[in-house]
Every structure is written in structure tokens, then in C-alpha cells.
Structure 1
Amino acid sequence: MFTFHNVCLVPSSFWLTGIPGLESLHIWLSIPFGSMYLVAVVGNVTILAMVRVERSLHQPMYFFLCMLAVIDLVLSTSTMPKLLGIFWFGAGEIGLNACLAQMFLIHCFATVESGIFLAMAFDRYVAICDPLRHTSVLTHAVVGRLGLAALLRGVFYIGPLPLMIRLWLPLYKTHKISHSYCEHMAVVTLACGDSRINNIYGLSVGFLVLILDSLAISASYVMIFRAVMGLATPEARLKTLGTCSSHICAILIFYVPIAVSSLIHRFGHHVPPPVHTLLANFYLLIPPILNPIVYAVRTKQIQERLLRILKIEAKGR
């Protein structure tokens, strides 16, 4: 599995511990984690199916919602099956290339998701601040280009991470990763070599993505709120703000867990390791679970379509 080089290892694979410190509870933990993963898959597949069959949902906001659904499916599926394998069968071994691929998928698609939220904020800005030009500005082609730009940015930002590890950090103190998946810092901290460049690059990407994207989204909503406050009646203001409520909830669901997990990871030195790992898993699971629920609850067209399907099934029985 690995060879010795001085006091360091050249691993061909790593060993994921699952939730360190809670190994005796892995079977029981598999119940909530497996249930949450199932809810995430069903919810996001349902959103994709609803938008596909309901022509009234063929609008920019719902196309972006489909992109979120695909991203959430990738994020949850890149980690949960392996985690459940660890819980059920103790299958913690993961090849070096598979580990780097998992790392890339997790960080890349988290970056892509942030970019889609930024695109959705632009969509809401145009829809509210310049409604007469909304359909001409946010055409299907433009929506596709914005989605492609978010994907390419994720690949461009995150692609170097596994490459730098592969080329510059071949030696490791141990092959045991005290985590449930191949998170970048969890792997880098095991390296024997100088990992400052990896640390600096990781922090820089985090700043560019989370800080700048959140600032841009905040700026768009400042302009949106200014436009809303200029409307004549309170009813009109509430109705207009209602079109943004799902997006605002989804943004909070995405950014708050990541911010909390990052702060605890870097500054919560007295927080027990199981809490670190559980939070890292929750921020990959919470958005895939809650995004479909939020949009189903807040979107009248999706509710109506779901009710029609349920009525048809009820009549068929």
C-alpha cells in the first residue's frame, strides 16, 4: 500500500477513519446520514423532473435551480456513498488518485455552487430593477453561458489543488486521514514537505470565492432593496421581495454552514475532532437537502405541479 522513505511514507492509498472518536457509533450514525442522503437525492431529482416537464418553469431562475440540483447531487454523491461504506463495512481505504479526484469534485463543485448563487442574484437584480429587459438580457443562451462560466471558474480555481499535492507533496507522515472524505487541508496537514504554498493557495481561493461572491451578492441585494423601497404600496414591496425569498434562504443555507465550519476548523482548536468532521459533512449535506424543500415551499408553480402529480397518482390507485 505504501513504501518507506526515511520516516515518511509514499502512499498508494489513504485510510479514511470516518468520524474520528465516534467509531463505535458508526452503525447508528449511518441511519441519519443515509436518510439525509436519500432525501437529498429524491428532492433534487424531483426538482429536475418538475422543471423538465413543466413549461411554465422554463425561466432563468428555474434553470439556475436545476444547475444547483445537479451540483448538490454531485457534492452529496461524491462523499456519502463512501462514508456509508465506512459506517457499514469499515471500507476506509481509498486510492491516492481516487482521493485526489474526490477532493477536486468537492471543492470544485462547492465553488461552482457559489458562482451559480451569484448568477441567480444577477437574475433577481435584472428581474426587479430592470424588469422590461429581463427576458432580453437573461436569454436561455446567456443562462447557459453563466452556468458554463461558473463551472470553468471552479475547474480553474480548484484544478491546481490536487496537482500541487501530486507533484510537490509525495511524502506523508501517515496514510491515515482523520476525516470522512479527502478534504484538502485534511490531506495537506499529513504531508512531510513544505505545504505553505498549498495553504496560501487554498486560503486565496477561499477568499476569492466566498468573500468576493458574498460581497457581490450583497451589493446586488442592496440595489434590489433600494428598488423595492421605491415601490408605491407595501403590498407591492412584499410581493416583489417574495420573489427573492427562496434565493436568500438558499444563500444562507449554503454560506452559513461553510463559514461556521471554516471558522471552527481554523480557530476552534478546543473543539473536539468529531465536531469538526460532523460539521464538514453537514455543510455538504444541508444545502442538497434544504434547497429543494425551500424552493418547493416558496414556489407556487412547483407546488401546483407536485399537487397535480399527487392527485393523478391518488386517482390511479
Structure 2
Amino acid sequence: MKKTAFILGLSALIVSCNQPAKQQENNEHNALETSVESNEVKTEEANPAADFNIEDIAFSTADIGDFPFINLPEGLEAHKGAIQSKFDICFFPINGVMTPFEGKLYKANVGAVRGEEYSQRYFEKSMEDYLLSVGAVKVFDGEITREEYDRYNKQDPNKGGSGDMGYWNQNIQFFIIRSKDKGNIYIQFTSNNAGGKLNIVQEEAFKQTVTKVTADEIVKDLSETGKSILYINFDVDKSNITAEGREVVIQIAEALQKDKNLIIAIEGHTDNTGDALHNKKLSKDRANAVVDNLIANGIDKARLSAIGFGSEKPLVANNSEENKAKNRRVELIRVK
């Protein structure tokens, strides 16, 4: 009897010892599942902007005017150098994630007109009250994180330009207006006691306007206006013509072969980025490179001349990347 009791006691002890181990195994398994679930949640939360749906915002029925849609409050003005582009990109905070939108762009630094004092409260209240009155919806009011700034800032081609905002220590107010006639309009502003910044995008899809240059177009331009403006690709900061650039040179050669009497000057132009003397030399070297390629394509050297102007003769103001690209060009000028 005592032996039986001993065996039963020993069995109970073994069961009681094994049970916590099994329970520990279950707990570890549950902890692992919880960890996986936790990681899954973190993955889903990695892009809060994905939860945003523009369709949730009602259309405004107000008359909002034309782009850029806003006149600044009385006594305030946009500083010189404001960016106004037919197509560009701007980043706006969707749930704290700087999200790119493309279309017509307006960016400006805002300050008081001469003789007036700037008021942060006046600017912010004027903007907010007006936007709400025309059916705009505020979708963000706060700061982004330093990590978010580090993630996106190099993607912004206008960083450091007029109206630049989107820094981690900067409060941003972001509004959206949806209009059946004007489309989606994104407006954000920030301010401190020295001045404000304003960004506006009227969202639009990109429209391709680049077409292949043809000899017939070059002849037509030279005949009608006396010049042809071309965009010949070169290696960055060099006078080496790329393969795409050589295709354009071939069309110039064909144009000169169509009209054997044509004599042209080839002018090189740059934007105003960097040293002026360097740009002038680079533009001259590029014009000479075009001449050399034309000669290699059978054009008499006596019909060609080259000159470089650097940034001295811009087509448009160098106040945006779009405009700077327009200024980086080669012009063919009809001499005879």
C-alpha cells in the first residue's frame, strides 16, 4: 500500500513538473504569434498616407477663381522670385507623410508690404478662414518627424527654393479643395513671426509635348524667324554630345543639305547655375562640338561659326528648374 502511494505521488510530481514546461512552450508560441502580429501591424502603419482617399472629400460649389486661386491678405505680398510653373511637383503631408502631387505649381515666400509689420496670426487666420469659406477641407495641421524629412527631402527638386517648407520643426497647415471644374487643389502654408510660405498645386496629369526635331522644321524656323531653338543633350558639365544629341545634329545637317545657301551661327547657352566664366566657356565648347559634328556629317566648315554666351541671354527667368532647362539650349542663327 505504501508502495502504491509512493508511485502515485511520484507520477503526480512528474506531471506537475512537466505542466509548467508545456505551459512555457505555449506561452513562447503565443508570444511569437503576438510578435508576428505586432510586426504586421507596424508594416501596415509604415505608410499612413495609404489610408487617405481623396474621394472622401466633398466637392466645393464655391467660385474659387483661377490658378493660383488666392489673393494674399491685405498688407501682405509674395516676395520676388516666387515659383509659378505649368507643371511641377510639390510634397504635402498626408497623415504626416510627405506625399508628391503634380500639376500647376505656385510657391512663394510671404511678407508684409513695405511700411507694414508682419503678423503670423493675421496671415494664418486670413488663410484658414478664407479656405474654409470656399469649401476647403483641412487634412493636416502639425509637424512631420525628422525621420520623415530625411526620407523625402532629396526627392523634392525645389528644396531650398522660394516657398520651401516641409521641415521637421515647422508647423504645416494643409487644405484640399475639390472642384468639378478645376479638379483637385492642394494648398499648404506655414508661418512664424518673420514671414510665411505658401504652396499651391492644381493637380494635372503630365502632357508630353516633346517631339522629334526634323530637318523640315529647322529649315522652316530659319526661313520664317531667322533662328531655330534646339535642345541638344550633352554629358553633364561637358561638351560631349550624347547619342540622343547626335540625332538632332543629323537633322541640322539634313536641313543644311536641303538649302545649300544656308550659312548659320551656332550659339551655345546655359542657365545661371555655377560660375559665369565656366558657363561661358562650356557653352562655347558645346557650340564648337556641334560644328565639329556637322563637319563630320559632310557640311562645309565655311558655312558654320560658333559662339558661346553662357547665361548672358536667358530665354526666361532662371527661377525654376523648368525655366533653367529652357535656357540650356543651342540656337541656330541664320547668317545668310
Structure with higher helix content: 1
Q: Higher relative CO (CA 8 A, sep ≥ 6), structure 1 or 2?
A: 1
Structure with higher strand content: 2
Q: TM-score, normalised by structure 2?
A: 0.19
Larger-gyration structure (1/2)? 2
Q: TM-score, normalised by structure 1?
A: 0.20
